[in-house]
A and B are shown apart, each in its own frame.
Chain A
């Protein structure tokens, strides 16, 4: 199977630090800002980002994990329903600036579902989207990231794979692979 490395550990590290500086630039002292990782993989990215943000800004920004499985638009349309993950948000987003964090932005459908799920926790003042990988020209919905690590050109037959060392992989890395045909 063809597998092309898009980002290595060092590059991902640089991107995470860049994200933090961009967030500091836009959110100042994070007085009214919260971070939400989209389950399951956005939360892994957020877990990497949160300590770096605290280190650079000196501020502990509240964060949580949001699962949008029950809000997806493909329920009853796929062969197998997706298994839900835990939603863990111990604050309301009412009046907050919310930054949604995900690893890969592809069709935009997960983000739409996530925004739907998020509203169950209140009406945010503003919502931004941060993704590690933005797949160009593949969107089904009019959704664009406010912060992205890298923008890549991919085909529908390809898959963007994000690996993390703390999830048992050799190193943090982003690959483009061919989808396995079932």
Chain B
């Protein structure tokens, strides 16, 4: 098996476990590549990729751009703040205009859930979802799974707690799909107001007490409080959130085992994660960032390799 079952990466939901394994195995090869003295391979030198970001992003856009450049692709960047979108152009028109300049792949972030799915049905290029609203963020889930696999050897049977703002988190949803497909057990933990209704129907455990969640898990993936997506108050104050749901060193010291701490970034230090945990030996946060480039290289390489 050396080919993905899909020609777009729209969400983890559409991938098979074999697809995920292929991406993670290929990412391991690319991780070796990006640690060489010369960190570049020529695979995608005849490919042009457009990074189309309708929503702010620093690390994901940089990570994709670096992955594309390490694969020798030509890269163009587009962000909606300085574009014709402001002048009323539709999404399909904007992307088709970009594609008419002989672009082969589109990496898109959009605030509307399903935007990349819509695009994939209306344009010819391969589409990679770099986050669509509160729906999915597949490459983040893949890099999280890659990081866990690298640290713990295997995902099957591992217990992963996702802690924080589950309601607004596309990272949480993609992670749930990805981890379950790889045979891991998933728990979500957060204030009841930040847990989606019926989340247990996805087959995840639900826990309101963060200490119990930490005691249960092998890996804690701590999410950021997404204030920018919150239209109403879901908890009284950040200070109160931090007191009840912030993960700190004392909590980890009280556990009778070592657990791995992850965070998709950017961290609100002192809110969901204290600095001494973020910078501790439990944390693989910076490793996640490096793995992000390798995983995105694998995704782009495998999608480009599929014969259209």
A and B interact physically: yes
Q: Is A69 interfacial (CB 8 A cutoff)?
A: yes
A178 within 8 A of B: no
| A122 neighbours in B (Cβ, 8 Å) | 37
**Inter-subunit contact A119/B29 (CB<8 Å):** no
A70 contacts B42, C-beta separation under 8 Å = yes
List the A side residues contacting B90 at CB < 8 Å.
none
B302 pairs with A81, CB closer than 8 A: yes
Interface centre among A81, A85, A86, A121 (most CB of B within 10 A): A81
Specify which of A69, A80, A86, A88 is in contact with B3 (CB 8 Å cutoff).
A80
- Interface segment among A71-79, A142-150, A164-172: the answer is A71-79
> What separation, in Å, do the CA atoms of A79 and B308 have in the docked complex?
10
By secondary structure, the B interface counts as: loop
Please tell me if A137 contacts chain B, counting CB pairs below 8 Å. no
Q: Does A84 contact B304, Cβ atoms closer than 8 Å?
A: no
A39→B36 CA distance, assembly (Å): 17
Would A82 and B2 count as touching, CB distance under 8 A? yes
A69 touches B38 (CB 8 A): no
Q: From residue B229, how far is it (CB to closest CB) to chain A in Å?
A: 38
SS class, residues of chain A in contact with chain B: loop
Tell me whether A70 and B41 are in contact (CB under 8 A): yes
Which residues of chain B are within 8 angstroms of A84 by Cβ–Cβ distance? 25-26, 29
With an 8 Å Cβ cutoff, the count of chain A residues facing the other chain is 24
Which of B39, B42, B307 is A116 in contact with, Cβ under 8 Å? Answer: B42
CA distance A84 to B33 in the complex (A): 11
User: In the complex, A92→B30 CA distance in Å?
Assistant: 18
User: By the criterion CB–CB under 8 Å, are B37 and A81 in contact?
Assistant: no
Q: Shortest CB–CB separation between residue B206 and chain A, in angstroms?
A: 39
| Chain B, Cβ-Cβ closest to A78 | B307
A122 and B37 alpha carbons, distance in the complex (Å): 8
Do A86 and B29 form a contact, CB below 8 Å, given A70-B43, A81-B2?
yes
A69 and B29 contacting across the interface, CB-CB below 8 Å = yes
User: Is A87 interfacial (CB-CB < 8 Å)?
Assistant: yes
Q: Does B306 contact A (CB under 8 A)?
A: yes
Q: Is residue A120 within 8 Å, beta carbon to beta carbon, of the partner chain?
A: yes
Question: Shortest distance in angstroms between B47's beta carbon and chain A's nearest beta carbon?
Answer: 8
Query: In the bound complex, do residue B306 and residue A81 qualify as a contact, i.e. CB atoms below 8 Å apart?
Result: yes
* Interface presence of B305 (CB below 8 A): yes
- Which of chain A's residues 167-181 have a Cβ closer than 8 Å to chain B? none
Instruction: Give the interface of A toward B (CB within 8 A).
Output: 67, 69-71, 75-76, 78-88, 92, 116-117, 119-122
Q: List 6 A-B pairs, Cβ < 8 Å.
A: A75-B43, A79-B307, A86-B29, A86-B32, A87-B33, A120-B36
